Structure 1
């Protein structure tokens, strides 16, 4: 009963008192606090990040997408959309040629001057900035409102919310395992606080050993990882084996690390934890399962 009550309260807040104010005249407040005015339902949308492209497909408005950034390869159908450069290097001439009536951008990644230039060209730009699992759900809800009334959106969002709440309510490993997440091989990089990765690790029941870092994605030394003694190591990779196997072999040299002793070194698909999309919930469920293995070996599954 208590879990159902918590879920009900969250959904009530989500659908009735969401953090970005929207009024009936089509004025939407984005993550930068800007008021974005839409005169009509947008029918020519440009996505400024792969994560945004995924969300738009999740909302089933792919027919209204006229441009996407590079690496917008999920779902596979997104590959056929016209490309407007990378999310950090937008080809403004290409964007303007597509005649968008809405651009959806991200605070982290897209250069601020691009948003300013589009404002000057009187093209509406709605900026998002989800940094946690709950914020992903809220962002999806807000994008659904910006692009127009959509069928069955609420049921999709409820299902995502239920999956997150289920992991929050399940038993967690005890004691809490110390987790090291490697997101780059050379130099070795990890994640600090105020990142989606940090939230996923925490909700799944782990403790990020670099959660004290004020830098979102710090470079760190092998010696520092050894000193912090992680119980579990996750290696984020887009490859099913190659890079993961190379990185795993490097860590296996350091048998003083608890994760090495227990062979708890796992690969995680970077798309599932790097991108603030519905698939981040898949990443959460995977991380949870790996943390609950309690020392069992499970490489790359």
Structure 2
């Protein structure tokens, strides 16, 4: 064997070994706790590493076939440990803290990613997830695609709807309506869409009274998680006297995935635009 051939073989052997080590390094047994992260993992092509997800992980449908470790804010360390994961990837919304501490004490790697509800926050979340999985290039590609889709939707919304004052309402059933203020996913999506949240002065979700709704007098009301049809909702005293209802601009958005802040954000915004322009 010539020196050149021997050198080439040695180089190839080194490259194959390095590739094998890189593959092993990225093949952690992974539990994803946050539906948006689960969706990102699938979009990055890393779903084979998943051994469990939380109850918010409902897309893609294949994720619902994985073992369920429970609701992200009420986790049990025992349930997660039973899946023998190497790593848990989640956001700051997960808890309780004691459960996460138990996992760390058991030697489980935990990556807690930022979940700021903005386009920049989503791009950062995609890239951070990709870094954890050793798929930075795929993360950059996905981030660029998502950013382009969201910006296209933003331009279309600005051109076709313009500036609107919007109220986002969660129907709590017997607990009544809750309106979304700042530091909520709903407020984040309104900002990304280019709308003004009429209740941005409050923090979190607060009960909605007829007086507050009339004073806010939104151009548009987006209703989430209601079992009632729009005609019935429009007669509710907390909504009926608003400009939005009187102009027929009350919309149910349960099916648009607006609050997931995952890779389909651009699609969700486009769906919202289509729903609103169908009724204008």
TM surpasses 0.5: yes
2 CA distance for matches of 1:206 and 1:150? Answer: 33
1:28-177 superposed matches below 5 A:
40-130=25-115, 131-149=117-135, 152-170=138-156, 171-172=158-159, 176-177=163-164
1:209 to 198, 205, 217: 198
Gaps of 5+ in 2: 1-23
Cα distance change, pair 180–97 in 1 and its aligned pair in 2 (3 A): same
- How many pairs does the alignment contain? 253
2:227 is aligned with 1:262 = no
State which structure, 1 or 2, has the greater radius of gyration over its C-alpha atoms.
Answer: 2
1:229 to 217, 238, 241: 217
2 CA distance for matches of 1:119 and 1:218? Answer: 35
Cα distance change, pair 88–61 in 1 and its aligned pair in 2 (3 A): same
Cα root mean square deviation, aligned:
2.6
Q: CA deviation at 1:84?
A: 1.2
2:167 is aligned with 1:180 = yes
2 CA distance for matches of 1:77 and 1:155? Answer: 23
- Higher deviation after alignment, 55-64 or 246-255: 246-255
Cα distance change, pair 167–109 in 1 and its aligned pair in 2 (3 A): same
2:245 is aligned with 1:245 = no
Residue deviations 1:198-240 (CA, integer Å, cap 9, x gap): 2321232321110011x22222213211221111111123x7x
2 CA distance for matches of 1:124 and 1:152? Answer: 22
TM-score by length of 2: 0.80
Cα distance change, pair 133–244 in 1 and its aligned pair in 2 (3 A): farther
1 CA distance for matches of 2:56 and 2:150? Answer: 26
Q: CA deviation at 1:152?
A: 3.9
Give the 3-state SS of the residue equivalent to 1:66 in structure 2. strand
**Structure whose residues are more often helix by fraction:** 2
- The answer to whether the Cα contact below 8 Å between 1:251 and 1:260 also exists between their aligned partners in 2 is no
- The answer to whether the Cα contact below 8 Å between 1:42 and 1:102 also exists between their aligned partners in 2 is no
Q: What corresponds to 2:18 in structure 1?
A: none
